[in-house]
């Protein structure tokens, strides 16, 4: 599941999610837009906080789609 979808489905504001993983709001926005991708350690934290709903595979798919559109 995409991070954006997870946050929307669970009514979690981006700011609150950023605080919960110890990251900046701006960083989370960049991940959601596909402008940047989190480091592996951050992806592991995201997976932990989302109880496995958002995984490294979800980001890998997003990266692939981003590269296909460039």
Domain count of the chain? 1
pLDDT 10s digits, 19-55? 999 999 999 999 998 888 899 999 999 999 999 999 9
Q: Contact at 8 Å (CB) between 62 and 30?
A: no
> Can you give the residue range of the structural domain that contains 22?
3-69
> Residues of 9-37 as b/e, b for ≥16 C-beta within 10 angstroms?
eeeeebeebbeebebeeeebeebbeeeee
CATH number at residue 40: 1.10.260
Query: pTM value?
Result: 0.86
């Amino acid at each position: 599941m995409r991070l954006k979808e997870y946050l929307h489905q669970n009514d979690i504001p981006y700011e609150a999610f950023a605080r919960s993983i110890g990251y900046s709001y701006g960083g989370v926005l960049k991940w959601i837009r596909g402008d940047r991708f989190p480091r592996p350690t951050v992806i592991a934290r995201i997976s932990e906080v989302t109880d496995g709903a958002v995984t490294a595979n979800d980001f890998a798919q997003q990266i692939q789609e981003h590269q296909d559109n460039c």
